[in-house]
Chains A and B, each alone.
Chain A
Amino acid sequence: AQTVTQSQPEMSVQEAETVTLSCTYDTSENNYYLFWYKQPPSRQMILVIRQEAYKQQNATENRFSVNFQKAAKSFSLKISDSQLGDTAMYFCALGNNNDMRFGAGTRLTVKP
């Protein structure tokens, strides 16, 4: 069975600072994909960043980057220069074949 664990239910960060959200996972598959989704208070879930497990290079999307450690099965999200609009629930997800598993989420609050 595939599992995704987010051990930080809540986090906060000052505007303009950097924050890292943790995610660990477990799978017996060698080929899979990892995702971070953002869910603002409006409830609309949107994709933040995606990482293919066969790629060693960490994915980056503007202020968002990941630290993918395949051997450790770790997939953390770093948000640089945090903005008030980054306040949201963040979900880590693991996808393989037709199975997608989500973590319990981390509620991030960016403080002015």
Chain B
Amino acid sequence: GAGVSQSPSNKVTEKGKDVELRCDPISGHTALYWYRQSLGQGLEFLIYFQGNSAPDKSGLPSDRFSAERTGGSVSTLTIQRTQQEDSAVYLCASSSRGRSYNEQFFGPGTRLTVL
């Protein structure tokens, strides 16, 4: 079966532009996570969706960042008015349930470069 997919794989944008990053989780997975990985850094939690519950947005670094998940499946992470410090790899993961003892399956990530 298909794993978690993300698009685009690479995105180069100019400072001040908006970008949208897409994540297609594994079919049937109710939990979806977004992380940011800066060069040489660990994973920084951004946002978590579980079923129809309100998302946990506690990791979003500023109000320029937002995410939605339509129909409990595909998710889009939007960064408005991008800044150079937004340059990073954005990883999406899904799991079959929202409890953190379940394995998270990761996508290949989107490398965002803000010039």
Contact = CB atoms under 8 A, between A and B. Distances in A.
Given A43-B109, A44-B106, A47-B103, A98 B98 contact: yes
A31 B22 CA distance: 33
A11 interface: no
B73 to A, nearest CB: 19
B101 A52 contact: yes
28 contacts: A9-B40, A33-B101, A35-B103, A43-B89, A43-B91, A43-B108, A43-B109, A44-B106, A44-B107, A44-B108, A45-B91, A46-B106, A47-B104, A50-B103, A52-B101, A91-B42, A91-B43, A96-B100, A98-B50, A98-B56, A98-B98, A98-B100, A100-B33, A100-B45, A100-B104, A102-B42, A104-B41, A105-B41
A46 B41 CA distance: 17
Contacts of A98: 48, 50, 56, 98-100
Given A43-B108, A95-B100, A98-B50, 18 more contacts: A9-B40, A33-B100, A43-B109, A44-B107, A45-B93, A45-B106, A46-B106, A47-B103, A52-B101, A91-B43, A95-B99, A97-B99, A100-B33, A102-B35, A102-B45, A103-B42, A105-B41, A105-B42
Contacts of B45: 100-102
A28 interface: no
Name the interface size band of chain B: 20 to 34
Interface residues of A, number: 26
A101 B42 CA distance: 10
B41 A97 contact: no
Interface of B: 33, 35, 40-43, 45, 48, 50, 56, 89, 91, 93, 98-101, 103-104, 106-109
A42 interface: yes
A96 B103 CA distance: 12
Contacts of A50: 101, 103
